[in-house]
C-alpha cells in the first residue's frame, strides 16, 4: 500500500522523524481555517500518489488567507498526471537552505537493505542517477546488524552534504531506517530532505510504501487503507476478489498465474502493443472467475482487444474453455477475445472453443501468435 504524503508524514512522526507542522483539508474553507491555525507562510500541497506535483502546479506558497483560498481553489480538482486532487495538506512553510535526497529500499540480489543519499535532492532522482551517478552515495545494510551511527556518519560523509547538516542527517537517517524496518515498509523516500536556514534537517516530502504482507502485524494501518483511492477498475476487481492492476494500454490481459501474467504483459509489449492491465485468475479458472475477469476488463474504455493466456497445469484447459464459453454468454463483450490454451487438456479445450465459435473468439496456437493477433486487433499501441 502506497501512502499519501500526509499519511507518510504521520508515519514518519511515529518514529520521531522531524516534519513541519501541518493539517489536512478537503475544502477551500477548511484549508483557510487550517492555515490560520498553523500561521503564515504556509505551503498548500496537492495530495496525490504521483511525483512531480511541484512542477504540475500542485504545490504553492501562501502568505495570507486570500492566497490560501486562491491556491486551494486552483489545486482542488486539479488533474495531475491522471490523479485528481481531492485533498490538500497545509503545512508551515520551511525556509530552505539546501535540498537533499534520501531513501531505503531492498536490494534483493545483495540480500541487504539499500540506502541512497544525495546532495542533489528536490529533483528527479532517476535523472541524477543517469546524469551524475557519483552524486548518489549508496549504503548496503545487513538487516541482522542494522545501521549503526558510525556507518551512518561515513555514509553521510560520502554523500558530501553540507557539514552543517551532518548531525541532523545522521539522526534522521537512523530514524528513517527504523521506520523502514520496524515500520514494515518496502520503500521510504524523502525528496527533498532539507537543511533549513535555521540549521535543522527535516523531511519536506514523504513517500512510503508499506509491505502488504505485514498487514496482520499493523491493525493501525486500517486508518491508511480506508483513505486509499482506487482506480474504478481496481475497486471493482478488489470487490470481485481478483488480482488486478490497472495500466493504461489497449490490450486487456487475463492469465493464470502471476508469472505467466507478467510474461504476457512483456510479450504484448514485445510485439508492439501496450497492456491495459495485469490480471491473474489463479488456478480455479471456472466460469464465475472468468466472468468476473471479463466484466472488469469490459468496463475499461481503453481496451480494444482481450488476450486470455492459459497454461494448464493443475488447471485443466477444458475447464477453462467451458468457463470462457459460459462467461461469453453472460458478459456482453465490447472487444474481440484472443485465446491461447496450452498444457493439460489443451486439445479438448480448443475443441470446446471451436464448437462454440463466434466472430469475437479468435484462437491462437502460441503466446507470441496470440499476442500479435490481439495487438493487431487493438490497432497497435
User: Is 189 one of the catalytic residues?
Assistant: yes
Residue from 189, 205, 280, 300 that binds ligand GDP (CB under 6 A)?
205
Counting contacts by CB under 6 A, is residue 7 touching ligand GDP? no
Residue 323 has φ and ψ, to the nearest 5°, of -60, -45
**H/E stretch holding 90:** strand 88-92
With both helix axes pointing from N to C terminus, report the angle between 317-330 and 287-298 in degrees, rounded to the nearest 10.
50
Catalytic residue among 101, 177, 180, 244: 101
Closest alpha carbon to 23 in 91, 70, 93, 94: 91
Please, which contacts does 26-31 make with residues 24 or more away whose CB atoms are closer than 8 Å? Answer: 26/86, 26/87, 26/88, 27/72, 27/76, 28/69, 28/72, 28/73, 28/76, 31/68, 31/69, 31/72, 31/88, 31/90
Contact partner, 343, from Mn ion, ligand GDP, none, Cβ < 5-8 Å per class: none
Counting contacts by CB under 6 A, is residue 337 touching ligand GDP? no
Counting contacts by CB under 6 A, is residue 59 touching ligand GDP? yes
Residue from 51, 235, 282, 343 that binds ligand GDP (CB under 6 A)?
51
The DSSP line for 260-287 is HHHHHHHHHHHTT--BSEEEE--S---H
Between 119 and 378, CB nearer to Mn ion: 119
Closest distance of CB 175 from ligand GDP, Å: 19
Closest distance of CB 23 from Mn ion, Å: 19
Between 192 and 246, CB nearer to ligand GDP: 192
Counting contacts by CB under 6 A, is residue 75 touching ligand GDP? no
Compute the 3-state secondary structure of the chain and give helix, strand, coil in percent, each to the nearest 5: 40, 25, 35
Between 205 and 319, CB nearer to Mn ion: 205
Closest distance of CB 3 from ligand GDP, Å: 14
Query: How many residues contact ligand GDP, by CB under 6 A?
Result: 15
Rg (C-alpha) for the chain, rounded Å, is 25
Closest alpha carbon to 337 in 252, 240, 237, 242: 252
Counting contacts by CB under 6 A, is residue 192 touching ligand GDP? yes
Between 118 and 191, CB nearer to Mn ion: 191
Closest distance of CB 54 from ligand GDP, Å: 3
C-alpha grid cell, residue 190: 524523502
Between 93 and 229, CB nearer to ligand GDP: 93
Rounded distance between C-alpha atoms, residue 90 and residue 170, angstroms: 27
Counting contacts by CB under 6 A, is residue 54 touching ligand GDP? yes
Between 98 and 319, CB nearer to ligand GDP: 98
Rounded distance between C-alpha atoms, residue 200 and residue 18, angstroms: 9
Do 61 and 93 touch, CB atoms closer than 8 A?
yes
Do 265 and 319 touch, CB atoms closer than 8 A?
no
Counting contacts by CB under 6 A, is residue 93 touching ligand GDP? yes
Contact partner, 59, from ligand GDP, Mn ion, none, Cβ < 5-8 Å per class: ligand GDP
Closest distance of CB 241 from Mn ion, Å: 35
Counting contacts by CB under 6 A, is residue 96 touching ligand GDP? yes
Helix/strand/coil for 304: coil
Counting contacts by CB under 6 A, is residue 18 touching ligand GDP? no
Residue from 27, 39, 52, 167 that binds ligand GDP (CB under 6 A)?
52
Closest alpha carbon to 254 in 351, 323, 204: 323
Between 18 and 343, CB nearer to ligand GDP: 18
User: Is 101 one of the catalytic residues?
Assistant: yes
Rounded distance between C-alpha atoms, residue 38 and residue 63, angstroms: 12
| Binding-site ranges for Mn ion (CB under 5 A) | 191, 205
Contact partner, 96, from Mn ion, ligand GDP, none, Cβ < 5-8 Å per class: ligand GDP
Residue from 17, 38, 44, 53 that binds ligand GDP (CB under 6 A)?
53
Residue from 18, 122, 282, 343 that binds ligand GDP (CB under 6 A)?
122
Catalytic residue among 91, 99, 189, 319: 189
Residue 32 has φ and ψ, to the nearest 5°, of -65, -45
- Count Cβ atoms below 10 Å from residue 332 Cβ, excluding itself: 9
The residues pairing with 113 across neighbouring beta strands, listed in sequence order, are 106, 141
- Point out which residues bind ligand GDP (CB under 6 A): 43, 51-54, 59, 93-94, 96, 99, 122, 191-192, 204-205
Catalytic machinery residues: 101, 189
Amino acid at each position: 500500500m502506497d501512502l499519501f504524503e500526509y499519511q507518510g508524514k504521520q508515519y514518519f512522526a511515529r518514529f520521531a522523524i522531524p516534519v513541519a507542522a501541518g493539517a489536512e483539508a478537503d475544502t477551500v474553507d477548511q484549508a483557510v481555517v487550517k492555515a490560520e491555525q498553523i500561521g503564515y507562510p504556509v505551503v498548500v500541497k496537492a495530495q496525490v500518489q504521483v511525483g512531480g506535483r511541484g512542477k504540475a502546479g500542485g504545490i504553492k506558497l501562501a502568505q495570507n488567507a486570500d492566497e490560501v483560498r486562491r491556491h486551494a481553489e486552483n489545486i482542488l480538482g486539479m488533474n495531475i498526471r491522471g490523479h485528481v486532487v481531492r485533498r490538500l495538506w497545509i503545512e508551515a512553510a520551511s525556509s530552505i537552505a539546501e535540498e537533499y535526497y534520501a531513501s531505503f529500499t531492498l536490494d534483493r540480489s545483495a540480500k541487504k537493505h539499500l540506502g541512497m543519499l544525495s546532495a542533489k535532492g528536490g529533483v528527479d532522482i532517476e535523472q541524477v542517477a543517469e546524469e551524475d551517478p557519483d552524486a548518489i552515495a549508496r549504503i548496503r545494510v545487513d538487516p541482522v546488524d542494522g545501521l549503526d551511527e558510525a556507518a551512518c556518519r561515513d555514509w553521510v560523509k560520502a554523500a558530501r552534504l553540507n557539514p552543517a547538516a551532518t548531525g541532523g542527517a545522521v539522526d534522521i537517517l537512523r530514524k528513517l531506517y527504523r521506520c523502514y524496518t520496524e515500520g514494515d515498509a518496502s520503500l521510504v523516500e524523502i525528496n527533498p530532505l532539507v537543511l533549513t536556514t535555521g540549521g535543522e534537517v527535516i523531511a519536506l516530502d514523504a513517500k512510503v510504501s508499506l509491505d502488504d504482507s505485514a498487514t496482520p502485524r499493523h491493525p493501525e494501518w486500517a486508518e491508511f487503507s480506508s483513505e486509499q483511492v482506487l482506480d474504478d477498475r481496481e475497486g471493482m476487481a478488489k470487490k470481485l476478489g481478483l488480482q488486478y492492476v490497472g495500466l493504461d494500454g489497449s490490450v486487456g490481459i487475463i492469465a493464470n498465474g502471476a508469472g505467466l501474467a507478467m510474461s504476457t504483459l512483456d510479450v504484448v509489449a514485445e510485439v508492439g502493443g501496450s497492456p491495459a492491465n495485469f490480471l491473474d485468475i489463479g488456478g480455479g479458472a471456472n466460469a464465475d472467475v472468468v466472468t468476473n475477469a471479463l466484466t472488469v476488463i469490459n468496463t475499461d474504455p481503453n481496451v480494444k482487444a482481450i488476450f486470455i493466456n492459459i497454461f494448464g497445469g493443475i488447471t485443466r484447459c477444458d475447464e477453462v474453455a467451458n468457463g470462457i464459453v459460459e462467461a461469453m454468454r453472460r458478459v456482453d463483450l465490447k472487444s474481440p477475445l484472443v485465446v491461447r490454451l496450452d498444457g493439460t487438456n489443451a486439445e479438448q479445450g480448443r475443441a470446446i472453443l471451436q464448437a462454440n465459435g463466434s466472430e469475437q473468439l479468435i484462437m491462437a496456437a502460441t503466446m507470441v501468435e496470440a499476442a500479435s493477433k490481439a495487438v493487431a486487433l487493438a490497432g497497435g499501441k
